[in-house]
Structure 1
Amino acid sequence: MKLMQQWRTQCLAAPKKIVFADALDTRVLHAANELKKQGLADPILLGNPFELRDYAYRSGVITPCLAIVDPQQSGYFDEFSKAYQEGGKPSLCAEDAQQAMRNPLFYAAMMVQRGQADICIAGNLSTTGDVLRAALKVIGVAEQHRTVSSFFMMSSPDGKDLRLFADAGVVPEPSVEQLADITIDAAQNFEKLTGEPARVAMLSFSTKGSSDHPAACRVREAFELVRRRVPDLIVDGELQVDAAIVPAVAEKKAPASPLHGNANVLIFPSLDAGNIAYKIAERLCHYQALGPILQGLNKPMHDLSRGCSVDDIVNISVLASCLAQ
């Protein structure tokens, strides 16, 4: 809880312009009002202003002083369409580029790409695939990156235990190279958000060679690649989760591990494992799941869960703003 307050203080010092592409949603309207009222961000709602205001009125939501941008009536529509056409495939025609810009996800991504917004947040109505498609086609992958993935910040009910889970939202079966990319990005983002050194466990059903199954070998190879690329990172793999987070078990299963059973960043071998793990922690252990937060893009665009709450939208906006500082 103390860390969340620190994140909010950072936002108050430098509020970011956040465009919400899926704006026709009472959750987004309430979250945008909260962000604006508290001074945490400058929200921008994307859509027809008459439709949005009528929807807000019928939903009983007051939307004072919120910026609304209508892509088709915007003075930047032609400029954005041309930029998208020039940055797309050689075969992309002007009509197709304009059609793309009529899609709120693509227009919002272009607002971020062209500097009219600092962050795009969507996914409360759109699918993850649609959000990622717009992000990749408009914003693109960051330099020195090859993999776009995601992470969740997981906070215990009392706020004393904070860990990062990756990837739990994007890459179904990461390759050795992708696992290494996910690990390095996740460690950097944990340190940026918390100010604490990352202690990274690359997880498997095997600990330090107890199995020669190809899935365990893949994690082992990814660990070696991470160690070569970032030799100063505190990382170990492959580890079973108990050897990663329980010191007494680590002493028995992996006594030479630099983590000593105190990992704060958990890297899962597949999307199956990561997604299941974060939802078990959230639903059975009552951890708060903050995310998913996308990593590896050239500029910030983030994908909400379609089951998100107002608080989730506010919290992700705060985390995204801190990462964008």
Structure 2
Amino acid sequence: MAHFLVAALYKFVHLPDYRALREPLFDFCERHEVKGTLLLAEEGINGTIAGPSEGVQAVLAYLRADPRMAALSHKESWAQEMPFYRLKVKLKREIVTMGIPNVQAQSMAGTYVKPDEWNALIDDPDVVVVDVRNDYEVSIGSFAGAVNPHTESFTEFPQWVQEQSGEGGLLNKKTRVAMFCTGGIRCEKSTAYLRSQGFEQVYHLEGGILKYLETVPSEQSRWDGECFVFDERVSVVHGLDQGHYELCRACRQPLGAADRASDLFVEGISCPHCYGKHSEEQMQRFRERQKQVELARSRRQRHIGVRMDKQPAGSVEQPGKHSDTAE
């Protein structure tokens, strides 16, 4: 029986006081034994949390008690083990980093399409279907026939749109575009961006891939593979059951059975995606960390590394290549 409730949540909403929200939110989560990562920015909140069911529900109720977040969207799944090592509540410039100012996701997002209506839309040959996730996510699963922009981060997506809108591009003279992502948040921003660029018929999968896998029967599914998630489960399949991928601790890439069988895979140190790409100093750190992991494992303890939960008061974290939570 699964013991931990996992909730992926987000809301685009104007939060000019977001800095003041961080400390009370962190303390409330900690009191209710909830872990995970929550991002706060002036444009809203985004994150994934996990813990005892009553604890997670208490946090959701706490957030929705703020009238601005009364309509907070969340999706639930279950995990056999706690999928997060620690609790983080971070201040960001954007809750999902596109790097384009004044993209009004709250008011300009495209048309929502419910999961049970998604198949009919993407089966239409006149619709361009775009996976707005990053390449490492797409590599383990996507909708059949969807376009992969091959981005390493969401900040590259606007440039891809500009390139593909030109002569001979995939979006050139296309009037209907359907987009999808893990939980829906990147789609809200990407569809708003497309609309700002003059695209009028833009759609996105309501609730994202997670809601689709939760609600659409596998025999009716257009999904092929597994869905990457930003926690220790690494991937999920239909019904939101845990998938079969693990994470390379050196480069954070998802690893399938073939990757783990490779001669280039050394647990905690390297994999076929990153072998030979790290400095000797980095490799030494990975080896030392893996020793500590194995020592904790031999003691039947969980290695969680250095506690990094709170930022200095009022500081806003700069975006990195791989965020703690993209959805």
TM-score by length of 1: 0.27
TM-score by length of 2: 0.27
Q: Which has the larger radius of gyration?
A: 1
**Larger helix proportion of the pair:** 1
